[in-house]
Amino acid sequence: EVQILESGGGLVQPGGSLRLSCVASGFSFSSYWMHWVRQAPGKGLVWVSRIKNDGRVTTYADAVRGRFTVSRDNAKNSLYLQMNSLRAEDTAVYYCGAGDTWTDYWGQGTLVTVSS
């Protein structure tokens, strides 16, 4: 059974940092591109970042480029998102997903709230 579990969300002040983690099981993690997708309260889905299966290629949405860093550890079946200089508009549920183009598997998400 495929399982993806995100963690690390919480309440942070504007300008602060958080590190999200995602642990996967039930599929060949090291074979998949991995993604972070976010959803602001009551809003739609927005791609944040992706990382190639070997970790050598990363891409970011314009809204987070220079502030967020995606990484992975295939030995631990884990994906990470380091988020710095957080803004109120980064408030969202952050989902971890697996898939080279479409997303085959999704985690349940972790809520990040940026507020003073």
Partner 1 sequence: EIVMTQSPATLSVSPGERATLSCRASQSISNNVAWYQQKPGQAPRLLIYGASTRAAGIPARFSGSGSGTEFTLTITSLQSDDFTLFYCQQYSIWPWTFGQGTKVEI
- One-letter amino acid of 98: A
β-pair type (3-7, 18-25): antiparallel
**Pick from 72, 92, 103, 114: which binds partner 1 (CB under 8 A)?**
103
In the bound state with partner 1, the residue whose beta carbon lies nearer, of 80 and 95, is 95
- The answer to whether 5 contacts partner 1 (rule: CB under 8 A) is no
Residue 46 C-beta: closest distance to partner 1, Å: 7
Residue ranges that bind partner 1, judged by CB under 8 A: 44-47, 50, 59, 61-62, 95, 99, 101-104, 106-109
